[in-house]
Amino acid sequence: MLFAWLFKMKKNRPLSNINFLIPANLNIDEVILKNSFAFKGNNLKRHKLLFVCDYIIKARIAQRKEMNDKDTDYAEISSRNLNKILHDHSKYLNFLLKAGVIETDNYFILGEKCKGFRFKYKYSGTGLKQVLLDNFQFKRAIQRDRERRKQESKKSTWGYGYLTKWWDDNKLHIDAKGACLWIDNYTDSKIQDIKNDEAIKYKLKPILNAKDTAIDFQQKVYSLNEGNHYYKFVGDNHRFYNPITNIKRELRNFLTYDGEQLVSIDLKNSQPYLSIAFFKKEFWSNADSLGENLNLKYLNKEIYNDIRRKEEYNNIITLVSSLENYAPIDSDVNNYISQVVAGTFYEYIQLHFQSIYPKKFDSREKVKKEVLTILFIKPQAGIFYSPCQTFKVHFSTPYELYTTIKSVQYNYLPIILQRIESFLMIDIICKKITEINSEIPLFTIHDSIITTVGNEGLIEAIMKNELEYYIGYKPTLKIEYLRSSESSKKSSLSLSYNELKPSNYNHL
């Protein structure tokens, strides 16, 4: 009886308010009234329409930086995740499409890309408003989903308390006023550039997209100070996503931890650098433990077994063996490695590619974007993409190796590289830092670590030591003081390279 009473009390206790975010000029009641013919036999609910609108907005906010990198304003919507709350979500999406509220790119690839959605431009650039959810049952369904996601997050991060505790103590803070002022100034400058660019014939679309981008960045800024941060390891690459992995780099300058200034230690040209591991035969060996060398089987057994079963595996072993047995000083592989290790790889690419493709390689950011395209493009598409063929002229052996890996499955290359990155940065380096000093705050953004000023010397030494041990070459690191001021100083904890010993993580 007591248990039943407690269960009933828990079930019926008041739920916290839930507000939906929708475009400021979207009147959902007016949309329903004008399109009532579409309701016949569908029994659509107003609060479910609002939920779908909110879902698209939240997806857009979460993906904004990635969307800008891909030059798209369509946010990808996962039907599987949406279905966990709203089983008949498709009819609500279809209603909003027919009513002219949203539109879709209608582009879907199983296991690779979800369909993208965006609001029509009449609802763009107008800001957002909150609408209170007034349906108790649906509110409970959303609360259950939030609890489920928390449990998934907790499960995915089990054993990584040395990483998650810095999020749980809610001491990371962002100067919202300063960040939003920067966003406003950045957006004004962006819009002015659009207006002045004679190559842009229709200016309304990019201007509205710039305004929506500003809105999304501001929402991210505000959410950072609300606490209850959501973080999770995701996918076969085991990447750690948290509230600062997908915000614009410049906005990180407004972050502090417990009032202290932060500093970022980045691995330069990380993907090309980590790919050096592929040139060792041991990486492709049938080893069950880590040993002194990285190996794919240890990092991702499923991908290793899949590659091992295919004929491409023999091609990889033959290619890598030839490199070990015969690698002249002036070979394309040695040139590739020397440029990557020196941290001049992107500069080399720009020097040799810009004269051929002026608009694609005229800035470092564009060069980085193009290099990732060259590395990760489907093998068939690479044949017709001219920069790929130019890359092949300069680095024929690395290009052949990457193409062979992608021939098994084209997304294996980025997955493997990101898995190496996650393993080294989080399982090796962050764990080592914590073992030496558990009081050092650690915030990771894939290939970089953010900490408080004063700890950068120690972290730099550990990163250099561990990365050289596992990759075989010293990395090039970049130290950047966030919101740098005259008080910035080098770490008194700075250790020499030889004072640190590589970790042994066979027990992981």
Q: What is the pLDDT of residue 355?
A: 93
Which phi and psi angles does 103 have, rounded to 5°? Answer: -145, 160
Nearest CA among 313, 250, 256 for reference residue 283 = 313
| Arithmetic mean of pLDDT, 235-246 | 90
Tens-digit pLDDT profile for residues 279-298: 999 999 888 777 677 999 99
Nearest CA among 423, 398, 401, 396 for reference residue 412 = 401
Q: What is the pLDDT of residue 410?
A: 86
Angle 126-230-268 from CA coordinates, rounded to 5°: 90
Lowest mean pLDDT segment, chosen from 101-110, 269-278, 436-445, 487-496 = 487-496
Residue 102: strand pairing partners: 119
DSSP 382-443: HHH-HHHHHHHHH-HHHHHHHHHHHHH-TTHHHHHHHHHHHIIIIIIIIHHHHHH-TTS--E
Q: What is the pLDDT of residue 227?
A: 79
Give residue limits of the domains in the chain. 16-150, 160-230+245-250, 272-418
Which phi and psi angles does 453 have, rounded to 5°? Answer: -60, 135
For residue 113, the 8-state DSSP code is: B
- Model confidence at 326, pLDDT cuts 50, 70, 90, reads low
Tens-digit pLDDT profile for residues 182-235: 999 999 999 999 999 988 888 999 999 999 999 999 999 999 998 778 899 988
Residue 258 has pLDDT above 60, yes or no: yes
What SS3 state is found at 452? strand
| Arithmetic mean of pLDDT, 246-250 | 89
Query: What is d(CA 277, CA 282) in angstroms, rounded to the nearest whole number?
Result: 9
Q: Between the CA atoms of 341, 345, 348 and 350, what dihedral angle is there, to the nearest 10 degrees?
A: -170
| Arithmetic mean of pLDDT, 358-370 | 91
Query: What is d(CA 166, CA 451) in angstroms, rounded to the nearest whole number?
Result: 10
- Model confidence at 1, pLDDT cuts 50, 70, 90, reads very low
Other C-beta atoms closer than 10 Å to the C-beta of 115 total: 17
Beginning with the edge strand found earlier in the chain, give each strand of the sheet holding 262-267 in spatial order. 443-444, 448-452, 262-267, 477-481
Q: What is the pLDDT of residue 113?
A: 82
Other C-beta atoms closer than 10 Å to the C-beta of 217 total: 23
- Model confidence at 322, pLDDT cuts 50, 70, 90, reads confident
Tens-digit pLDDT profile for residues 167-186: 999 999 999 999 999 999 99
pTM: 0.87
